[in-house]
Chain A
Amino acid sequence: MVKLFALSIFHKGASEARLLKTASDLQSFSFFQRGTVNEFMTFASKTIVERTQPALRQSVKQDAYMCHVYVRADNLAGVLIADHEYPHRVAHTLITKILDDFTAKVSADQWPNGTEATISFDLLPAFLARYQNPVEADPLTKMQNDLDETKIILKNTIEAVLERGEKLDDMVSKSEKLSLQSKAFYKTAKKTNSCCSFT
């Protein structure tokens, strides 16, 4: 089952990565684990961003999670922690989209020195929630799924048409027989009528 766990935005400074905004969905963990898991995820994201070079995308496998990171050329980085089954492409699409939105909303001068409190960007949780289901959120995947469904429907239709063809063949033979019999009937009737003398 595809699942997203956390989505965060970092600014990759010269010495370290600054966490600018984060959102996480830890419903699957028990209440007591959530704090630990959260910390762990933040730490992992930070490390990954520090280890990645600018203008690079990476997908790193970590125990049970898959960490997708994209560091842009202007040192803005986005990290998405998901499970193994989440499609990579959708993950990176989401990260790119988030970064673009962030750039549009928050000006670049706030990045090097911002903290979670100072920067106002509220779309992260909404995105996280929406992209829990990659099929619906990502238009490409949706289109692909729709097309696949359509293909199945069409295949069924073709089978139905083939059946119809068979039935039509049946009908043809039956109607032929009917017409032959009716012809015989007519001939008999005519013959009976031919000898007019009453016997």
Chain B
Amino acid sequence: MQTRRRLHQTDQQDYSSSSTYTIQADHQGGAGAGTGSVGTGTAVGSVGLLTQSLVPPTTGHEAAIHIGDTNQSDNSIPSPDYSDDKYGKAARQWNLRAFSGHALRTLSAAAAVVTGNQPGISNDSQSQYTNYPASIPSSSQFYQSKEEPQEPEPEPEIFIMAARDRTGEFANAIRSLQARNITRAVNIRDPRKAKQVQSYSEFMMVARFIGKNIASTYAKLEKLTMLAKKKSLFDDRPQEIQELTYIIKGDLNALNQQIARLQDISKDQRRHTNGKHLVSHSSNMVLALQSKLASMSTDFKQILEVRTENLKQQKTRRDQFSQGPGPLAAHTVSPSTAKQGSLLLSEENQAVSIDMGSSDTTPLLSTQTQMAIYDDSDNYVQQRAETMQNIESTIVELGGIFQQLAHMVKEQEEIVERIDTNVADAELNIEAAHGEILKYFQSVSKNRWLMIKIFGVLIFFFLFFIVFMS
């Protein structure tokens, strides 16, 4: 069933040649809306291009969608009706100048629906005007479900589909668009606050975008985890894993930059606004995003480590399988077989890929030769790397030993302090005791003199009495 929308054109020829969308933004908001009514999203746009949609020049609020058809008898239709003017007025009222083409199209479609009583716009156009998951089937459905306007014009073929009242959806769309450009309305009232709100909403949008990216990168990381954890010997898909790793790395970098930008925005905001809560909220959000990114990077690192472990194991298993049968023609006692546990990461990747290639394609003996020889010439570098690692670990050990030494000496310092205190106490006591004994000695010697004197006096009196009595 072919449906058609009416075409408003003054100069049909010119526009029939160019089958492009033009968003005639300023002077007729309705015109842009007219293009918008063609469909949703760029995919739709391509369909529209394919079907030679014609852009109405001046005030046409609908474009013609001819499915396989060129424009027909709609040439002489003048600027049709009041719905156009009403629609244009509505568009101007909401100041749809700076809307993106998508939004304009959506809004105009929605407006056209309501004002011109033209139901049948598909759901996508209104509810998800920011993301256009534009699927061509839905858009074609959209096309086919468009309806003729009820304008008093002689239309030979009018197919009226089921009518649906989408006023509510239109209102929602208007509200969300309004929220996005809230500065417009707010501008009228309070310029300073408008700037705050605008910067805040900008911040929010960037943060939301970053959050979405983080979620998608997480999904990729999960996939990589699953791939890397597979331990089967033959089902390994290194290409995929490497690609995925590369993609995730790029994503992480991009996320890093975006979060840095977000941080700048929030710092900028901090300067302008003096709302404490806004500032703290934005800084919290930045912190949360950063921590998510950090956790994702650590997970990524772990996955890479797991992958290298698996590669090592695979290599050893493969070596076991293919070095079973006897020695080679060249009588080399490869000391390399002993060193297989200590391959470096990059060399190991090379070795694994070469081994996989060789063991898959060449016969067994040449595989052995290739592998043994390869390991042998690899050996030197391995050994050097091992020596370096040894040296490094020794140095680290030495550092640890020094630290222990210092710690022990510090502990012993405490003991020395105790000894010092004890000895000082002892000295004090001895000094005091010494003093006491001196005093005692003095007292003792002092007393003797007194005694001598007293006895002397007593003896004198005694003698005196004896002499005078006799």
Nearest chain B CB to A140's CB is how many angstroms away? 5
Known A172-B422, A175-B426; contact A58-B332, beta-carbon cutoff 8 A:
yes
Nearest chain B CB to A160's CB is how many angstroms away? 10
Nearest chain B CB to A48's CB is how many angstroms away? 9
Residues of chain B contacted by A57 (CB below 8 angstroms): 376-377, 379-380
The answer to whether B377 and A165 touch across the interface, beta carbons within 8 angstroms, is no
B387 touches which of A56, A140, A190, A196 (Cβ 8 Å): A140
A162 to B428, CA, bound (A): 31
Partner-binding segment picked from A33-41, A105-113, A181-189: A181-189
The answer to whether A185 and B412 touch across the interface, beta carbons within 8 angstroms, is no
Partner-binding segment picked from A11-19, A124-132, A142-150: A142-150
Contact with A along B394-411 (1 / 0, CB 8 A): 110110011011001101
A185 to B436, CA, bound (A): 10
B433 touches which of A168, A178, A185 (Cβ 8 Å): A185
Residues of chain B contacted by A141 (CB below 8 angstroms): 387
Known A148-B394, A178-B422; contact A189-B384, beta-carbon cutoff 8 A:
no
B137 at the interface (CB under 8 A from A): no
Q: Name the residue of chain B whose CB is nearest to the CB of A160.
A: B405
B429 touches which of A88, A89, A150, A186 (Cβ 8 Å): A186
A182 to B376, CA, bound (A): 78
The answer to whether A144 and B387 touch across the interface, beta carbons within 8 angstroms, is yes
| Interface of A: prevailing SS | helix
The answer to whether B405 and A176 touch across the interface, beta carbons within 8 angstroms, is no
Residues of chain A contacted by B324 (CB below 8 angstroms): none
The answer to whether B377 and A171 touch across the interface, beta carbons within 8 angstroms, is no
The answer to whether A186 and B432 touch across the interface, beta carbons within 8 angstroms, is yes
* Chain A count of residues within 8 A CB distance of the other chain: 49
Contact with A along B368-381 (1 / 0, CB 8 A): 00000100110110
A191 to B430, CA, bound (A): 15
Q: Among the interface residues B380, B416, B430, B433, which one has the most CB atoms of the partner chain A within 10 A?
A: B380
A61 to B331, CA, bound (A): 8
A151 to B394, CA, bound (A): 8
The answer to whether B412 and A193 touch across the interface, beta carbons within 8 angstroms, is no
The answer to whether B398 and A150 touch across the interface, beta carbons within 8 angstroms, is yes
Known A171-B419, A186-B429, A190-B436; contact A155-B390, beta-carbon cutoff 8 A:
no
Residues of chain A contacted by B422 (CB below 8 angstroms): 172, 175-176, 178-179
Residues of chain B contacted by A123 (CB below 8 angstroms): none
Residues of chain B contacted by A61 (CB below 8 angstroms): 331-333
Q: Name the residue of chain A whose CB is nearest to the CB of B402.
A: A154
A186 to B408, CA, bound (A): 37
Nearest chain B CB to A55's CB is how many angstroms away? 7
Q: Name the residue of chain A whose CB is nearest to the CB of B430.
A: A182
Residues of chain B contacted by A92 (CB below 8 angstroms): 380
Residues of chain B contacted by A97 (CB below 8 angstroms): none
B330 at the interface (CB under 8 A from A): yes
Known A140-B387, A186-B433; contact A154-B398, beta-carbon cutoff 8 A:
yes
The answer to whether B391 and A147 touch across the interface, beta carbons within 8 angstroms, is yes
Partner-binding segment picked from B22-30, B168-176, B185-193, B439-447: B439-447
The answer to whether B443 and A193 touch across the interface, beta carbons within 8 angstroms, is yes
Residues of chain B contacted by A58 (CB below 8 angstroms): 330, 332, 373, 376-377
Residues of chain A contacted by B69 (CB below 8 angstroms): none
What interface size band does chain B fall in? 35 or more
B1 at the interface (CB under 8 A from A): no
| Interface of B: prevailing SS | helix
Known A165-B415, A179-B425, A193-B439; contact A158-B376, beta-carbon cutoff 8 A:
no
The answer to whether B433 and A172 touch across the interface, beta carbons within 8 angstroms, is no
The answer to whether B430 and A186 touch across the interface, beta carbons within 8 angstroms, is yes
The answer to whether B331 and A60 touch across the interface, beta carbons within 8 angstroms, is yes
Nearest chain A CB to B392's CB is how many angstroms away? 10
A158 touches which of B380, B404, B429 (Cβ 8 Å): B404
Residues of chain A contacted by B162 (CB below 8 angstroms): none
A22 at the interface (CB under 8 A from B): no
The answer to whether A178 and B426 touch across the interface, beta carbons within 8 angstroms, is yes
The answer to whether A161 and B412 touch across the interface, beta carbons within 8 angstroms, is yes
The answer to whether B405 and A193 touch across the interface, beta carbons within 8 angstroms, is no
The answer to whether B376 and A189 touch across the interface, beta carbons within 8 angstroms, is no
Residues of chain A contacted by B397 (CB below 8 angstroms): 151
B313 at the interface (CB under 8 A from A): no
The answer to whether B376 and A59 touch across the interface, beta carbons within 8 angstroms, is yes
Q: Name the residue of chain A whose CB is nearest to the CB of B425.
A: A179
Using a CB–CB cutoff of 8 Å, the interface residues on chain B facing chain A are: 330-333, 335, 373, 376-377, 379-380, 383-384, 387-388, 390-391, 394-395, 397-398, 401-402, 404-405, 408-409, 411-412, 415-416, 418-419, 422-423, 425-430, 432-434, 436-437, 439-440, 443-444, 447-448, 451
Considering the complex of A and B, which 10 residue pairs feature the smallest CB-CB distances, nearest first? A175-B422, A182-B429, A189-B436, A186-B433, A179-B426, A198-B447, A89-B383, A179-B425, A189-B433, A92-B380
A-B contact pairs, 6 of them (CB 8 A): A57-B379, A58-B376, A151-B398, A168-B416, A189-B436, A198-B451
Using a CB–CB cutoff of 8 Å, the interface residues on chain A facing chain B are: 51, 53, 55-61, 88-89, 92-93, 140-141, 143-144, 147-148, 150-151, 154-155, 157-158, 161-162, 164-165, 168-169, 171-172, 175-176, 178-179, 181-183, 185-186, 188-190, 192-193, 196, 198
For the complex with contacts A147-B394, A190-B436, 9 further pairs of A-B residues with Cβ separation under 8 Å are A60-B331, A61-B332, A93-B384, A141-B387, A171-B419, A179-B422, A186-B430, A186-B433, A193-B440
